[in-house]
Amino acid sequence: MPPFIEPVTLRGKHATVEPLDATHEDALKRAAADGELWELWYTSVAPPDRMGEYIAIALDMRERLGAMPFVVRDSKDGEIVGCSRYFNVDAPNRRLEIGHTWYAKRAQRTAINTECKLMLLAHAFEKLACIAVEFRTHWFNHASREAIARLGAKQDAVLRNHQLMPDGSKRDTVVFSIIDGEWPAVKRHLKFQLERPR
């Protein structure tokens, strides 16, 4: 039986999403350095000296757990500006999560993220026939929570003391989802956002 998720490259006007591999390490170090993203205590962006380990873990998730990690390129210059991932894949129930998403500071709050989410969601609902797609974030990551809500996802729950963070703190995780019946309206909304003058 073929895997539920296979490598795919998704191309848009603003961004390209392509499968992650080890050759992307230097580009991801540069992307993370734009804004020193590893300094945000409520995220899990790797510092430059641990980017190789971050990639190895992502690729191990792909091989063992059916996840699909991606890098994101800015269509203007071809530079890699971040990462995203399909993971927590539940093939029998046709569900997955989009997460491990981060962008260089220059790409944040731009059309790049909106288009990436549009492409990843379209692939999940229209090609993989998912019935639900989840998003999760740290309670204190207010920017991420607002961005997820702007996509059209609805908050499902807060998982208290859900994870232990590397610094020993306990993470409360906010869970959002989009279900298949909502996808047409969410798709229209995201396309509208992309077409608006900036």
Q: What is the CATH classification number for the domain harbouring 177?
A: 3.40.630.30
Segment 12-44, tens digit of pLDDT = 999 999 999 999 999 999 999 988 877 766 667
The residue-averaged pLDDT of 155-173 equals 92
Averaged over 174-188, what is the pLDDT? 98
pLDDT in tens, 107-127: 988 899 999 999 999 999 999
Q: Does some domain include residue 153?
A: yes
In the prediction, which pLDDT does 117 show? 96
Question: Tokens 């998912």 correspond to what residue?
Answer: 130
Side chain identity at 157, as an amino acid letter? A
CB neighbour burial string for 45-54, b if at least 16 within 10 angstroms, e if fewer = bbeeeebeeb
Q: Both tokens of residue 154? A: 């609805």
Would you state the pLDDT for residue 69? Answer: 97
Assign 168 a pLDDT band (cuts: 50, 70, 90): confident
Q: Which range marks the domain in which residue 28 is found?
A: 10-195
Question: What is the reported pLDDT for 135?
Answer: 97
Q: Is residue 2 part of a domain?
A: no
pLDDT at 2: 64
Q: What is the pLDDT of residue 35?
A: 80
128 is a domain residue: yes
Strand ranges of the sheet holding 170-179, from the earlier edge strand across to the other edge: 10-11, 15-19, 68-74, 80-90, 95-103, 132-138, 170-179, 154-164
Q: Which is more confidently placed, 166 or 34?
A: 34
Asked if residue 23 is part of any domain, the answer here is yes
Tell me whether residue 173 is in a domain.
yes
Handedness of CA 12, 89, 68, 142 (dihedral sign): positive
- Percent of the chain clearing pLDDT 70 (strictly above): 96
Please give the tally of structural domains in the chain: 1
Residue 1 lies in a domain: no
Q: Which residue has the higher pLDDT, 2 or 93?
A: 93
pLDDT at 46 over 90: no
For position 154, what pLDDT does the model report? 97
Per-residue CA distances from 34 to 37, 76, 86 (Å): 7, 17, 24
What pLDDT is attached to residue 179?
Answer: 98
